[in-house]
Amino acid sequence: MQAASPTPLTVLGLESSCDDTGAAVVRWAEGAPPAILSNVVAGQADLHAAFGGVVPEIAARAHAEKLDLVAERALFEAGLGLSDLDAVAVTAGPGLIGGVMAGVMCAKGIALGAGLPLIGVNHLAGHALTPRLTDGLTFPYLMLLVSGGHCQFLVVEGAESFRRLGGTIDDAPGEAFDKVARLLGLPQPGGPAVERAAAQGDPARFAFPRPLLDRPGCDLSFSGLKTAVLRARDTAMAGAGGLRRQDRADLCAGFQSAVAEVLAEKSRRALAVAGDVAAFAVAGGVAANGEIRTALMQVADEAGVPFTAPPLALCTDNAAMIAWAGIERLRLGARDGFDLPARPRWPLDSGAAPLVGGGRKGAKA
C-alpha cells in the first residue's frame, strides 16, 4: 500500500559512489511530470588521469572535500534553502566504499542539522528508475545498464522491486571500449574514440568472437573480446612494422560490431524472458554509441516494445537520479535511520546469482 506523503515533494540527492561528486534537487507533485530544479556534477577525471583508472583513495578524499560545496551549489541553483526540502536522499551503495561513506556522512549531517528524513538509495536503482523521471515510464519495463562500470539486464517491477536477468561476468562494455582504445593508442574515454575510428573501418575484416552467444541466458562477457583485439593488433603490426591507420580502423569496426551484436542478441533474449513489459530502456555511457543504439532500437522494434534512452547527462552518474529514486521510496513510505550503512556491494535483486566481475570502477553489485 502506498503511504500518504505530502505533495509536492522536494528532495536533495547526493551521489559519490565512483568518480563524480553530484548534488541535485528534484521536485515531484501529484499529476505533473517531475522537475529537475538543479543537477550539479563535479567530475574527478583530471585527478585520476595519470593512473589509467579511478584510484579509490583519491576519489574518496575529493568527494569529502567537494560534497558540501556541490550540495550548496545545487540548492543555490534551485533557488531553495534547506527548509524547502522534504528529505535528503543519498547513494548508500554499491560503489567505492570511501566515496559512499563520504556521501552518507554528508547526507546524515544535513538531514540531522535540518531535521529532515534521510533516504538511502541503491545507485543501480537510481539508474534503473531514471526513465520514470525522464519519460514517465510505467512499471514493469526492461532496463539495460551499459557503462564503464555496469552491465546488467533488469526488469524494473517497482521502485523497490527489481529482477536481474543477467549481467557481465567480467568487464563492463565501456571498460572494454576503454581498454581497446588504450591497446590501439587512442585517447580516453575510449568509447567515442573507438566509434570515430570504426566509422572508417571494415567490420568484417577481423573475425572477432561473440562471447557467450553459444550459451543460453542473458549473461555477457567482454574481456575475451578485448584479448582477441590485442592478438589481432599484434598480428597486423608484425606484418606492417607498426599499426597502420586502416588496420586500427578495421580493428575498431570489428570490435564495435561484435559488442553491438552481442548486446542485441542478449537483449532479444532478455525481452523474451522478461514477460509483458511497457518498454525497453537503456542507460549508461555506451548507449551513446550509434551502432549499438541502432541495434538495440531494432531489437525493441522487432519485439513491438517502445525504446527509451534518457538524455546522456542523466544516463551517466548524477545526483538527479538519486533524488528521484529517493522520491520514489518516500512515496512508498520509506525512511532510513541515522544508522544507515554505506555498502560496497548491494545487489538490487537479492534472489539473483551474484555478479562475478567487479569492473574498472569498483564492485557494483
Kindly list the residues in this chain that would bind ligand KG4 in the complex (CB under 6 A). 18, 147-149, 174-175, 177-178, 189-192, 195, 284-286, 288-289, 316-317, 361
Residue among 282 and 330 whose Cβ is closer to ligand KG4 = 282
Residue among 108 and 248 whose Cβ is closer to ligand KG4 = 248
CB of 126 to Zn ion, least distance (A): 8
Q: Per CB under 5 A, does 175 bind Zn ion?
A: no
Contact of 91 with 123, CB cutoff 8 Å: yes
x/- contact string, 284-323, with Zn ion (CB under 5 A)?
A: ---------------------------------x------
Residue among 134 and 147 whose Cβ is closer to ligand KG4 = 147
Residue among 124 and 330 whose Cβ is closer to ligand KG4 = 124
Closest CA to 328 of 78, 129, 118: 129
Closest CA to 107 of 164, 38, 23, 20: 23
Distance CA 114, CA 268 (A): 48
What is the residue-wise DSSP string for 87-107? Answer: EEEEEEESS-HHHHHHHHHHH
Q: Which residue is nearest to ligand KG4 (CB)?
A: 191
Residue among 131 and 191 whose Cβ is closer to ligand KG4 = 191
CB of 82 to Zn ion, least distance (A): 27
User: CA of 120: how far to CAs of 94, 232, 327, in Å?
Assistant: 11, 46, 11
x/- contact string, 316-345, with Zn ion (CB under 5 A)?
A: -x----------------------------
Closest CA to 307 of 317, 295, 323, 291: 295
Q: What is the dihedral of CA 309, 312, 318, 324, to 10 degrees?
A: -30
First to last CA, the chain: 28
Interacting residues toward Zn ion by CB under 5 A: 317
